[in-house]
Amino acid sequence: MIQFGLIGASQIAQFGVIPAIRAQADARVLSVFSSHPERGKAYAETCQIPKVFNSLDELLADPEIQAVYISTTNELHHAQTLKAARAGKHILCEKPLAMSLAQGREMVQVCQEAGVVLATNHHLRNAGTLRKIRELIQTGAVGKPIAARVFHAVYLREDLQSWRINKPQAGGGVVLDIVVHDVDLLRFLLNAEPIEVTSFSQHFGMGENVEDGSMAVFRFDNGLLAQVHTAFTVRYAGNGIEIHGTEGSIIAKGALHQSSTGEVLLRNAQGEQVIETESADLHAGGVRRFLDAIQGKGMPAATGEDGLRSMAAALACLESARMGCKQAIII
């Protein structure tokens, strides 16, 4: 039985990852750390978590926990990961992994040195629809991929309109929130790395000192160009991803959610075919791969290195918009 301590009394833990841990036969949520004593207590009661700590050091000193899930705001991930690794705990960390490349590199290195697993919660990698698209690409269904388009503009729910829209120092803004997922998804689907980006950002009334819309074009090391549209301000766009290759195109609609939904269509010289996909719990899939990795069976769905690479692309996207010119993506 692997027992988890939660670092951060967050919504994503409550509605995504706690149920995902509880869906596993060999894992349990034992404790939670919150920096707000009263809220932490109420959260532990609501989520039925046996132990609550207001000191991270105390949670990490508990020999009963082997793993932590970090879902605090983004500026805290770095220091909390280093502490947890040095305490010998395996770490499932939320995206973006950190706020800078130097921090991300240090997280990966310290976890390696401590001999603990570092995973990044890029949940989309566990979606049945998206895994099917990856399989189609890998088995040559579209030939050589030429271009991709990601549509991921949403209207940010009111209960999420806090640090995401007004706290740049916490990693607010749509790029570190959504573009980082989209780049990670493209890396996963294409088995290729983004090497440069050019982007524009938008301030359409929701973001205070952070962008609330972004359009970016990434060039990948296999020559593919990917266009990525993200926003907090667009109510009715829906979401989707398209992969266009020499022999065919894959068009997926409604596939970029917290749950495994959406339709996948393959279009080629034979016509159009609706592709069957399996539904899966995205967070449960990520937790399962993390637990397996702890037990020496394979790799996490997204490793610390994946978190670092996808964050590097998102940071370059921000820098491109700020500088008004293309940016190389450097790890």
Enclosing H/E stretch for 278: none
Q: Which is nearer to ligand NDP, 99 or 141 (CB)?
A: 99
Helices (H) and strands (E) in the chain, counts: 12, 15
**Least spacing, CB of residue 41 vs ligand NDP, in Å:** 10
**Least spacing, CB of residue 325 vs ligand NDP, in Å:** 27
Residues that bind ligand NDP (CB under 6 A): 8-12, 34-36, 39-40, 71-74, 94-95, 121, 123, 160, 162, 177
CA neighbor of 149 nearest in space, from 237, 232, 210: 237
Look up residue 285 and give its amino acid. Answer: G
Buried b / exposed e along 152-167 (16+ C-beta atoms within 10 A): bbbebeeeeeebbbeb
CA distance 224 to 201: 22
Contact 171, 95 (CB under 8 A): no
**Least spacing, CB of residue 310 vs ligand NDP, in Å:** 11
Q: Which is nearer to ligand NDP, 40 or 262 (CB)?
A: 40
Q: Which is nearer to ligand NDP, 160 or 265 (CB)?
A: 160
Contacts of 79 (CB under 8 A, 6+ apart): none
Q: Which is nearer to ligand NDP, 146 or 299 (CB)?
A: 299
Q: Which is nearer to ligand NDP, 94 or 281 (CB)?
A: 94
**Least spacing, CB of residue 176 vs ligand NDP, in Å:** 7
**Least spacing, CB of residue 54 vs ligand NDP, in Å:** 9
**Least spacing, CB of residue 125 vs ligand NDP, in Å:** 10
How many residues are there in the chain?
331
Q: Which is nearer to ligand NDP, 36 or 144 (CB)?
A: 36
**Least spacing, CB of residue 162 vs ligand NDP, in Å:** 6
* DSSP code, position 243: E
Q: To 5 degrees, how large is the angle CA 32–CA 38–CA 44? A: 35
Q: Which is nearer to ligand NDP, 141 or 291 (CB)?
A: 291
Buried b / exposed e along 72-91 (16+ C-beta atoms within 10 A): bbbbbbbebbbbbbebebbb
